[in-house]
A and B are shown apart, each in its own frame.
Chain A
Amino acid sequence: MIKHIAMFRDEFLRRLAQNASVLELASGHGVLSLLAAEERPDIRIDGFDISTPAVAVAKRLLAVSGHGGRVSFAVKDALKTDGACTNGKYQGIISAMLAEHLSDPRPLFNVISHRTSRDGLVFFSTAIESPQRDHVFEYNQEASPPNGGGCWLARDTTRLRCWLNASRHTVSAACDRNDSTVALRAYAI
């Protein structure tokens, strides 16, 4: 998982546009958003999560972080992010370890696609094969092509590009891949 953080900081946060607005989907504890604010004093971040206790943790950390003016957390379904900032578009979207919690991740990719501005950047990571009580969608088996198998998401980003709406995004090759998780960096074009 440490490589995810390297990619999050070096390939995502440090490449965001100046004064970027950022959306974190399923922000949970909120620490990624707070680290983003710590690293980039110029950006603003909205974090949404469906879990009331998780958002309570995030708000408590936010209150002592000194980033209260630029970061906000709210209890909200990550797939129903209406009424966001400028035209509902963000220059940065974080979807870290969320997709595996959804029975069908395609609506998530639709949200990402529709909420990313033309100059936007997406940080996406997911567990490919990592059983947990609340992991529902397993990429290795449920999403692999009929005659394929293996980590299609890491091996071949075509389907992800399709889900993200290929006309507007390019997806880098898997920059951080191992047997159980993947982190991808997607550019809006």
Chain B
Amino acid sequence: MDDLSEVISKFDGTVQTLGLAVKSAEREEKFARAAGHNGVDRVVKMGRMHLFSSPWDGVDLIRRWFVSFAMCLHRNETSEVSNGACGTISGGPRSESQALAAGARATFEANKELCSWLLNPLARWAEAAYGEKVFDDAACGYARYCFGVAQAQKVYERAGRYTPEGMPEIMSGVYEDEGYAVPYMWAAILIYALWRL
């Protein structure tokens, strides 16, 4: 085929990304539009098809972390969800929830480049591995972890020292318990980007 238009006209919705290198900007835009009409999600410069950036396919992945946080914390505040992913969070009154969400957002806003360095690929890998639900799961794991830390801090302040269980109990109840360890893992990475201290 001699004409790029002819190639693009053959697209049937299975082409996700198209790399273009056309001297004329006008023609390039024309091809891009045609590609979009034929089901192409992304049109980028030739050679940049595999370079990840956010937004990705029109979706701001980092924003989704915060939307999930907001939803998770809202559910926690209103206690409307009893069996959802966040239904088992306890101990987070409204003021603490708001402070948690505001603190995470403020840390991100103050360190956008660095947070994006972590959160962008994390979002990409997490969604590819676990699907969209991972944003809710991770956000709820993060919130549950933060409230757990706050409760542990109160115990610590009363005791004046750490009061851990024995190592066998920690092994079975934390490291080997999938229901505890997996949300904990999401929290353990998110705190790097969302905790100022």
Interface residues, chain A, CB within 8 Å of chain B?
1-2, 4-6, 9, 28-29, 31-32, 34-35, 38, 50-54, 56-57, 60-61, 63-65, 97, 103, 130-138, 141, 178-181
User: Of the candidates A35, A53, A61, A179, which one forms a contact with B118 in the assembled complex, judged by CB atoms under 8 Å apart?
Assistant: A35
**How far is A1 from B111 in the complex, measured between Cα atoms in Å?**
11
Q: Does the CB pair B186–A29 fall under 8 Å?
A: yes
Cβ-based interface call for B181 (8 A)? yes
With known contacts A9-B117, A131-B162, A31–B189 Cβ distance under 8 A: yes
Cβ-based interface call for B34 (8 A)? no
Q: Which chain B residue shows the least CB distance to A100?
A: B162
CB distance from B132 to the nearest CB of A (A): 14
Cβ-based interface call for B129 (8 A)? yes
**How far is A63 from B175 in the complex, measured between Cα atoms in Å?**
22
With known contacts A2-B195, A34-B121, A136–B164 Cβ distance under 8 A: yes
Q: Does the CB pair B189–A134 fall under 8 Å?
A: no
With known contacts A52-B176, A54-B185, A136–B149 Cβ distance under 8 A: no
With known contacts A2-B114, A2-B192, A54-B181, A130–B149 Cβ distance under 8 A: yes
Q: Does the CB pair A54–B175 fall under 8 Å?
A: yes
Prevailing SS type, chain B contact patch = helix
Interface residues, chain B, CB within 8 Å of chain A?
107, 111, 114-115, 117-118, 121-122, 125-126, 128-130, 148-149, 152-153, 155-156, 161-162, 164-165, 167, 170-171, 173-178, 181-182, 185-186, 188-189, 191-197
Inter-chain contacts of A65 with B (CB < 8 A) = 121, 125
Inter-chain contacts of B156 with A (CB < 8 A) = 131
Q: Does the CB pair A53–B178 fall under 8 Å?
A: yes
CB distance from A78 to the nearest CB of B (A): 12
**How far is A7 from B56 in the complex, measured between Cα atoms in Å?**
27
CB distance from B175 to the nearest CB of A (A): 4
Task: Offer 21 A-B interface pairs, CB within 8 angstroms, sorted by A.
Answer: A1-B195, A1-B197, A5-B117, A6-B111, A28-B185, A29-B189, A31-B118, A31-B125, A31-B189, A51-B174, A51-B175, A53-B178, A53-B182, A53-B185, A57-B185, A64-B125, A64-B128, A131-B156, A133-B165, A133-B173, A181-B197
Q: Does the CB pair B107–A2 fall under 8 Å?
A: yes
Q: Does the CB pair A64–B152 fall under 8 Å?
A: no
User: Of the candidates A57, A141, A178, A181, which one forms a contact with B161 in the assembled complex, judged by CB atoms under 8 Å apart?
Assistant: A141
Q: Does the CB pair A131–B195 fall under 8 Å?
A: no
Given contacts A31-B189, A51-B176, 8 further A-B contacts (CB under 8 A): A4-B192, A54-B185, A131-B152, A131-B155, A134-B174, A138-B162, A178-B197, A181-B197
Inter-chain contacts of A63 with B (CB < 8 A) = 129
Q: Does the CB pair B164–A133 fall under 8 Å?
A: yes
Inter-chain contacts of A38 with B (CB < 8 A) = 121
CB distance from B146 to the nearest CB of A (A): 11
User: Of the candidates A5, A56, A137, A138, which one forms a contact with B193 in the assembled complex, judged by CB atoms under 8 Å apart?
Assistant: A5
**How far is A52 from B175 in the complex, measured between Cα atoms in Å?**
7
Inter-chain contacts of B126 with A (CB < 8 A) = 61
Q: Which chain A residue shows the least CB distance to B130?
A: A60
Q: Which chain B residue shows the least CB distance to A31?
A: B189
Inter-chain contacts of A56 with B (CB < 8 A) = 178
